[in-house]
Amino acid sequence: MSCDVGLYGLAVMGQNFALNMASHGFSVCVGNRSPAKVDLTVNRAKAEGNLPLIGSTDAGDFVKKLSKPRKIIILVMAGKPVDDTIATLSEHLEEGDVIVDGGNEWFKNTLRRGETLAAKGIHFIGMGISGGEEGARNGPSLMPGGPKVAYDMIAPIIKKCAAQVNDGPCTGYVGPIGSGNYVKMIHNGIEYGDMQLIGEVYDIMRHVLKLSNDEMADIFTEWNKTELDCYLIEITSKILPKKDDLTGKGHVLDYVLDKTGMKGTGRWTIQEAAERSVAAPTMAASLDARYISARKDERVRASTILKGPEVEVPVNKAQLVDDLKHALYASKVCSYAQGLGIIKGCSDDMDWDVNLSECARLWKGGCIIRAALLQKIQDALARDSKLPNLILDPVIAGELNERTSAWRRVIVTAIAYGISTPALSGSLNYFDSYRRASLPANMTQAQRDFFGGHTYERTDREGVFHTEWTDAHKSIGDISERMAGNV
């Protein structure tokens, strides 16, 4: 049997995506370092309807069972395992074959691998996959970046296997090598922000409004029928009321330790935000929150030493619930704006020409951040592809302006109760900073000139200036030399 496509790496994501492809009529050969998972996947294919999927005994056998030009998707752990897998497979490949890395990989590693394989005539694509285990089986969001000729070779497969929405499959050509991994990385950063925003809203509901898990579940269920309709709100409404099976008492959520794990893509997002000089306070706050959550023992100790507010401010329950809804929506919009801004910054620097409206479209189904809001984002960026920031779109701006009072009341209430809201506050601070024509940066720049002779520009005339602020200051000579190294 000569198979249409091969999938190497059979953890659950790999198994499920292989079965997805087979379910859509493509003949699939699977391979893995350990033969047990090959057998497991072949048996699953039989049990799920005798799907056209076969196994292989080793890398050579795997490659031999693929039709030419060979199309191989690898789903192994990022880093060295990817390099090792590519090295093993490429020994058996020929010019014109395609390798697709579907893992969460640092985009610069993808650039390096693409260059190495190109020298051998082998095409390489880095393809972000979002949707978790369920999405991999039933239709994920797929974000491929690489040579267009290679994308055209895999497009018939991934277009059928991706999630399907009103305007097509949640996949498409993102751009040159590295861009697919980059867009997926930022997707994950936005995901971090979304999850933290929901967590902060939950915290306020729980500790200010004293709502039960079932009451909160009902609210999130209703919100999911509104402009907040999204996957993360949906699963929140299902997590909250879930009873604990182990003890038979209370809810599972109340037994979950408040320490959040992570795999690294959130950190990469913030590193890239700094590299591209793009403000991303919502996502940065979500990352910081995970760092602080990990220091559980320190927090337990601090809770006996550090004091919060002693007087609780009365609140109107119905008003605060409504305000939380508006604050969450506005904050989510700002988080998406920040993520898209990072993509735009890198795309401009790398000459990728990534279509931001298309990114929003790819995220509308299958992935973790899928949301009704993405249709509005897609439309906004389609109306004006040169829009410098999502929140400048007239429709989006109008929605934010309508929600600012509620947004501010939520933050004030949280402060009064001593509840940290770094992501909600970060989004509001982003909005407030961006909407102001004048910021206190003039003081910061004056201080830089005072202690380091870093110069400044003026509001009343063109040019670059330096002031001898005190008698101790001397002329700095050629001002242009002081500008060197600015980013």
Q: Active-site residue numbers?
A: 184, 191
- Select from 231, 228, 427 the least CA-distant residue to 337: 427
Q: Which amino acid is at 291?
A: Y
Q: What is the DSSP string of 210-258?
A: ---HHHHHHHHHHHTTTTT-BHHHHHHHHHTTPBPTTTSSSBGGGGS-S
d(CA 237, CA 218): 7
Rg (CA), the chain: 26
CA distance 188 to 412: 29
* Helices 281-294 and 422-435, axial angle in degrees (round to 10): 160
For residues 310-332, one letter each, b for 16 or more C-beta atoms within 10 angstroms of the residue's C-beta and e for the rest, the string is eeeeebeeeebbebbbbbbbbbb
Rounded Cα gap, residues 103 and 94, in angstroms: 23
Contact predicate 367/230, CB 8 Å: no
| Amino acid (one-letter) located at 418 | G
Using alpha carbons, select from 139, 107, 270, 140 the residue that is nearest to residue 193: 270
Tokens of 440: 């206190």
Rounded to the nearest 10 degrees, what angle do helices 148-161 and 12-23 cross at?
80
Distance (Å, rounded) from C-alpha 416 to C-alpha 165? Answer: 43
Work out the number of other CB atoms within 10 angstroms of the CB of residue 58.
13
Cα of 81 vs its chain's centroid, Å:
23
Widest CA span in the chain = 87
Distance CA 426, CA 446 (A): 26
Q: Provide the 10 A C-beta neighbour count for residue 116.
A: 15
Helix (H, G, I), strand (E, B) or coil at 67: coil
